[in-house]
Each structure stands twice: as structure tokens, then as C-alpha cells.
Amino acid sequence: MHSNKEKRAIIEIVKLCFDNADIDKVKAKLDKCDEESLIELLTDTGISGFIHNKLCQDDKYNPFNLDNTRKLFQRSGVISIRNTIIRDNLMTLCTALNAKNIQYIILKGIPLIERVYSDETIRPTSDIDILINQEQYNEVQSVLDALNYRFPTKKMEKLSPLMTKEWVETKKAEIPFVKRDIPFDITVDLHFDMSLFHDNEFMNQMFDMDSYDFLNNTQIIDMDSFYVSCLNDEIEFIYSVYHYTIQHSFMGLKWLIDICYMITNDKFIINWDRVNELVSNPNLRHSLELCLVIVRDIIGRDAFVEHVDYQFKYPKRLVNYKSLSFVVQSTIKSKILSKSQKLVLPATLLNRFKMLRFYLFERNSIKHRIENDKSTRFDVFQPVKLLFVFVRELFK
């Protein structure tokens, strides 16, 4: 388990990448950390390429010693090789789907890297996520079969004997197909919709993502004269927030950095009036606004004001609150805390927020954490400063 000092140091390093931290203060934090463990943590969270690209090219802003700079460079090379292989397989798959006139959208991954980042070594990707029309599922299976993708029966049965292909097709949010390859396997995850749970109508109503009609909110992007269908900018942004905050419980810094890049990158144009219009679901709006406050803390107030023109439903003080942190450790356990939190988040997210710091860095799913008895032994982290802001607003 990595120390909190290392985790706090990484947050400061990420801020430095967005010119929102002082290099000397960052180096001071690094001096208190085990840099070997820090490099490992950067890799585990999927941001080693991002850090190397933003900081290690210029000695003036590079907080790492020469040895660790080389390690980050090596990891960037691995990211580049993996992304290139996945990109080639994506193009082959899309060509086959286009030939069959199959309607599809590529989610996140290579197309997002193409649209948002200046260099493919910045952002790692591990699989190919495709949203399809369920009525064309058999046709898509035939295409995947012809390209040697198979449902990973043995792997799924190791997770649980229940996870047969038929069970996954009806219960899971995504259906995996794997192609055995060298140097690593290629995984394609098929999605019929954006539901959290196929058999839980209540949860799906809480975050009604399917109301956006994803398959008809697309745009075509040019990837070196190869054309790929993906979500339009506003829907892609909303989906990325949903993916980071709800599907992954605020864990995974690489997804948070995706959102920061979407906001600050001039190539990715977000119509904030359109976003405000689209995010009508109150639970999704809560998650979006909490995410934006975290983004503001990462990229800095000036950059946030310059790029974000969103109509917050939260008190304006929350957005402008200096050095707002959601992850201050606290032992406060009171009815006021619980009731105030419920004003901010739907009840189903409260338990996820209690270990927000942990989930930023832990890659396992919330389901696995809940099933693990040790998960209850972690310290509880409460968004205390957020609470104070809302209590102050309530009793004004």
C-alpha cells in the first residue's frame, strides 16, 4: 500500500503539469517520498506517460532525478507500443464493421487520445470499448469471430462460475471478447447501452444515461485518413464525467486528467450551454459539479474561469472556495455530517465518497472492495471542507 505522502505528492505533480503548483514545493514533497514507490504509483494510476510528457522534457520543470526520469521515459515507450498495436486492431475492426454496415460508436480509448492529446505516449489505453445496437449483436459477433476474438469463458469462470456467456450477455454492462496476441491480448468490450446494471431499473433511473441516445449523437473523426465514429464533444464530455465519477467511483487519475484536458484543450470544443441543457438528471448534475470542483483544484482558478462557462446549481462559494479538497481525513461522525452530505450526493454515492482518496488510486472495482473484509479497516475520509461550505449556506 502506498503512503498518503506519495499520493499527495502525485496530486501536486499533476497540478504542476497544469502550471498550478510551485516546482520548489513539489520537489520538497518528493524529498519526503520513496521515489521508487512513487514511480510505481504513477504507472499503476496510468499517468506516467502524462507526467513524462509534461515535465521531463524540460529540466526547469522536472522534479525527478535522472534515474527516475529514464524510468518514466521507458514507460512512455511501452505506452506508445501498446497504443499503436491497439490502434491497428481498432482500424481492422472498424473496417470490418463498416463493411457490414453495422452501427457503432467507439468509446474513449484511441479516438479520445486522437482528439484531446498531442502525443499518443501521454495516455495509455488497455482495450477497445464499442457501443452497438443490440439488434445487431449477432452480426457483430460474426465479425469478431472472423477476426479471432472469442468470449473468455475460462477467465470469466475463474471470477465466478455464474459468469457464463449467457449470464454476462443479460446481466453485465459490457461483454468482453479477447484475441490472443503477442505481446499482449487485445480485448474488445461490447456495450448495448450505458446502464450501470441491466437488471436494476431503480439505479438506471438514477443516472439515466440512455436518454442521451448515444448512437445518434455522433461525429466522425479523421485518424490519418481513417474515419471512426465517436461521440460528439458535449456527449463525450458528459460520458467521461459519468465514467469517472459513477462507474469508477472517482478512482483513476487518468480519467480525471482526460476531463481536465477536454476542458483546457482548444481542439475539444465544449458548448457549455448545451452541457447545462443536457445534464437535467439531478444525480448526474451533482456528480458533474463535484467533478468540476476537483478539476478546478487541479488546473487552477484562472484556467477554470477561462475555460468553463457552466451554470452551477451549487452555491457559487463552493466553486470559488480556495484550495478546496474533498479528501481531508476526519473522525467527525455526526448526524449533521450525514444530513449535510445527503444534500450534496444521492445516498448510493455516500459510501463511495467515504474512501475517495483510496479510490483515486485503487484500480479494483467497488464491488470487489465491498466483498473484501479488509475494506472496512481503511480510515474514513470525509469531504469536510465541502460540508462546512454547505452548512454555512444552510444557516445563512
Alpha-carbon distance values, 184 to 8, 122, 152, 174 (Å): 32, 20, 14, 21
Whether the pLDDT of residue 318 is over 70: the answer is no
Whether the pLDDT of residue 198 is over 90: the answer is no
Q: Is 250 left (phi over 0), alpha (psi -120 to 50) or beta?
A: left
CB 279 within 8 Å of CB 241: no
Please, what is the average pLDDT of the chain? 76
CB 18 within 8 Å of CB 51: no
**According to the model, what pLDDT value does residue 206 have?**
67
Q: For 265-303, what is each residue's pLDDT tens digit? A: 888 889 999 998 888 877 788 788 888 888 888 998 899
Whether the pLDDT of residue 250 is over 60: the answer is yes
Chain Cα centroid distance, residue 99: 32
Give dist(CA 214, CA 211) in Å, integer: 8
235 vs 65: which has the higher pLDDT: 235
Q: What is the pTM of this model?
A: 0.78
CB 288 within 8 Å of CB 279: yes
Res. 173 pLDDT band, cuts 50 70 90: confident
In three-state secondary structure terms, 151 is coil
Mean of pLDDT values over 305-318: 69
Angle at 104 between CA 235 and CA 87, to 5 degrees: 90
Whether the pLDDT of residue 392 is over 60: the answer is no
Give dist(CA 215, CA 361) in Å, integer: 32
Mean of pLDDT values over 134-161: 90
Cell readout for 121 is 505516449
CB 190 within 8 Å of CB 197: no
Angle at 61 between CA 12 and CA 322, to 5 degrees: 35
* Radius of gyration from C-alpha coordinates of the chain: 21
Give dist(CA 3, CA 33) in Å, integer: 8
**According to the model, what pLDDT value does residue 107 have?**
92
